[in-house]
Amino acid sequence: PEPGNGPDGSEAERVLRRVFGYDAFRGGQREIIEHVVAGGDALVLMPTGGGKSLCYQIPALVRKGVGVVVSPLIALMQDQVDALRNLGVRAGFLNSTQDPDERRLVEAEFLAGELDLLYLAPERLRLESTLRLLERGTVSLFAIDEAHCVAQWGHDFRPDYLALSELHERWPSVPRIALTATATEATHSEIASRLKLQDAHHYVASFDRPNIQYRIAAKNDPKRQLLELLRTEHTGDAGIVYCLSRASVEKTADFLVSNGIEALPYHAGLDGLTRAEHQARFLREDGLVVVATIAFGMGIDKPDVRFVAHLDLPKSVEGYYQETGRAGRDGLPSTAWLAYGLQDVIQQRKMIDTSEGDEAHRRRLGAHLEAMLALCETVACRRVQLLDYFGQQSGPCGNCDTCLTPPESWDGTIPAQKLLSTVVRLKRERNQKFGAGQIIDILLGKKTAKVIQFDHDALSVFGVGTELREAEWRGVVRQLLSQGLIGVEGDYGTLVLTEGSAAVLTRQREVRLRREPEKAARAAKSAKA
């Protein structure tokens, strides 16, 4: 059919209805699609579930030739292509999982003009043979999915993505559309410059996901806390539980199963077949819980994920937002729940200190951690803080834990001074460094074996901190860490002074701390009991 506006709308609208079965464009889709159909470049930043795929699929169907989609999600290509074929779209893919015969078949279809969309792994485009193949056919557009891969330091696909900047030189008149769900200002401009998209139309969607309720809880007994959440609010719901390590993925999945919840583990240590099976079951069946490392989820399109839980602190706000964004794509109420504790901070600090790469890289990781901690410790609306991180202003949302149960803040200057002066005493008087556990035992006046062994009950600060309970002291340490008023180093997470500590010790600085809401305190008590 001829492009242009007929009685039933533009060609793009007809494709939307007839091929995809949708009544109307969502958000900025129309604007983006019309721009690309007309041959313009675009940079699209839209949250997960926002509807990015149509932004290149429809132009590919409307324009003459084959739309080439670059995607690192090799594991999903078969599913994506199958889904398109079910809609009658002629789609194919080329990646390393195919044998030469399959590959030749797709190449032949491409050359014969029998494809609308061709999905390629990014490394394919670095092969001269692929480029020559594309030159022999007609490319209608290049879509670069997960475009943040070009910007993320140390990202696995980065060299392949950097090479994509050359597409423009080889195909100057073919429009390019780069898409990502990651949208800090820095990432945004890096994508534009690395992919040479200076003249592209920038489209930034709202990143708000109002139906997701954000909650961050103090971590006491995370598996029990999770079970409580599932039993009280998410019985029979599908959800994703993220853990940092493979071992904790396995343990948590076992724990849930032994408590009557259908849960499957997913991590890179499982063989490919098991992973594929668990993923397929999650997509197909109702009410399954997948316990996973962050290896799980990229590109997964399951509309009714009702909760995403994190049992460990994510490494960055961007990662956290992307992972929680997998909840509630259908727009129905969903929960993003994170449990975080002192140990998370200590562990991540240690990982950063011992990570490979140069000083600048470590500083960057440190900044990511700090932003994540600021989100965890904020007394303001979580959503305001999240959206602000992505450069969007908003008001209190009424649908996050801090809006629903406003935390009080309290003057923690005196406890902070007691804690810091204990660290000072140990260092000055005995040249010793200890972790948070020992310092807190000293403050509480506990005569543990380790306290007696080191003669710490003879310190003048022994027992000066009985006004707070142990969990509260851990909260104080956690918050001082997140405010940079104390530091942590070494394999044993020893506490050390920072530049900020001095101002607290000399009373030049007041310390405001967040009081854990009553509920959290009660949960902590019953979990201990």
Q: Which residues bind ligand ADP (CB under 6 A)?
A: 22, 25-26, 29, 46, 48-54, 301, 303, 329
* Contact status, residue 266 vs residue 249, Cβ threshold 8 Å: yes
Q: Which does 400 bind (CB under 5 to 8 A by kind): Zn ion, ligand ADP, none?
A: Zn ion
- Cβ proximity to ligand ADP, 166 vs 301, nearer residue: 301
- Cβ proximity to ligand ADP, 200 vs 373, nearer residue: 200
Q: How far apart are CA 128 and CA 115, in angstroms?
A: 21
Q: Tell the smallest beta-carbon distance from residue 54 to ligand ADP (Å).
A: 5
Q: Indicate the SS3 state at residue 413.
A: helix
- Cβ proximity to ligand ADP, 54 vs 253, nearer residue: 54
Q: Give me the amino acid identity at 77.
A: M
By CB under 5 A, the residues from 375 to 404 that bind Zn ion are 381, 383, 397, 400, 403
Q: Tell the smallest beta-carbon distance from residue 327 to ligand ADP (Å).
A: 12
Q: Tell the smallest beta-carbon distance from residue 182 to ligand ADP (Å).
A: 12
Q: Which does 50 bind (CB under 5 to 8 A by kind): Zn ion, ligand ADP, none?
A: ligand ADP
Neighbours of 311 (CB within 10 A): 23
Q: How far apart are CA 140 and CA 65, in angstroms?
A: 5
Q: Which does 403 bind (CB under 5 to 8 A by kind): ligand ADP, Zn ion, none?
A: Zn ion
Spell out a b/e string for 484-511, using b for 16 or more CB atoms within 10 Å of the CB, else e. ebbbbeeeebbbebbebbeebbeeeeeb
Q: Tell the smallest beta-carbon distance from residue 509 to ligand ADP (Å).
A: 44
486: left (phi over 0), alpha (psi -120 to 50) or beta: beta
Q: Tell the smallest beta-carbon distance from residue 435 to ligand ADP (Å).
A: 42
Q: Indicate the SS3 state at residue 102.
A: helix
- Cβ proximity to Zn ion, 66 vs 216, nearer residue: 216
By CB under 5 A, the residues from 402 to 421 that bind Zn ion are 403
- Cβ proximity to ligand ADP, 116 vs 516, nearer residue: 116
- Cβ proximity to ligand ADP, 80 vs 479, nearer residue: 80
Q: Tell the smallest beta-carbon distance from residue 189 to ligand ADP (Å).
A: 21
The structure tokens listed for 336 are 């993003």
Q: Which does 381 bind (CB under 5 to 8 A by kind): Zn ion, ligand ADP, none?
A: Zn ion
Spell out a b/e string for 412-431, using b for 16 or more CB atoms within 10 Å of the CB, else e. beebbbbbbbbbebbbeeee
Q: Which of 511, 502, 509, 510 is nearest to 476 (CA)?
A: 511
CA 112, 118, 121, 122 dihedral sign is positive
Q: Indicate the SS3 state at residue 212.
A: strand
Q: Which does 22 bind (CB under 5 to 8 A by kind): ligand ADP, Zn ion, none?
A: ligand ADP
Q: Which of 3, 40, 406 is nearest to 198 (CA)?
A: 40
Question: What would you report as the CA-atom Rg of the chain, rounded to the nearest whole angstrom?
Answer: 26
Q: Tell the smallest beta-carbon distance from residue 1 to ligand ADP (Å).
A: 20
- Cβ proximity to Zn ion, 239 vs 407, nearer residue: 407
Q: Tell the smallest beta-carbon distance from residue 91 to ligand ADP (Å).
A: 14
Q: Tokens 């950063």 sit at which residue?
A: 352
* Contact status, residue 415 vs residue 510, Cβ threshold 8 Å: no
Q: Give me the amino acid identity at 296.
A: F
Binding mask 127-156 for Zn ion (x = CB under 5 A): ------------------------------
- Cβ proximity to Zn ion, 229 vs 397, nearer residue: 397
Q: Which does 53 bind (CB under 5 to 8 A by kind): Zn ion, ligand ADP, none?
A: ligand ADP
Q: Which does 166 bind (CB under 5 to 8 A by kind): Zn ion, ligand ADP, none?
A: none
Q: Tell the smallest beta-carbon distance from residue 338 to Zn ion (Å).
A: 14
* Contact status, residue 201 vs residue 323, Cβ threshold 8 Å: no
Binding mask 169-188 for Zn ion (x = CB under 5 A): --------------------
Number of residues that bind Zn ion (CB under 5 A): 5
- Cβ proximity to ligand ADP, 83 vs 374, nearer residue: 83
Q: Tell the smallest beta-carbon distance from residue 519 to ligand ADP (Å).
A: 33
Q: Which does 340 bind (CB under 5 to 8 A by kind): ligand ADP, Zn ion, none?
A: none
Strand partners, 144: 70, 178
- Cβ proximity to ligand ADP, 52 vs 478, nearer residue: 52
- Cβ proximity to ligand ADP, 17 vs 350, nearer residue: 17
- Cβ proximity to ligand ADP, 51 vs 265, nearer residue: 51
Element (H, E) at 36: helix 29-37
* Contact status, residue 294 vs residue 240, Cβ threshold 8 Å: no
Q: Tell the smallest beta-carbon distance from residue 209 to Zn ion (Å).
A: 12
Residue 227 CA from chain centroid, whole number: 22
Q: How far apart are CA 347 and CA 320, in angstroms?
A: 17
Q: How far apart are CA 76 and CA 296, in angstroms?
A: 12
**DSSP letter, residue 124:** G
Helices 11-18 and 29-37: crossing angle in degrees, nearest 10, is 120
Q: Tell the smallest beta-carbon distance from residue 394 to ligand ADP (Å).
A: 20
Q: Which does 25 bind (CB under 5 to 8 A by kind): ligand ADP, Zn ion, none?
A: ligand ADP
The structure tokens listed for 301 are 């399109």
- Per CB under 5 A, residues contacting Zn ion are 381, 383, 397, 400, 403
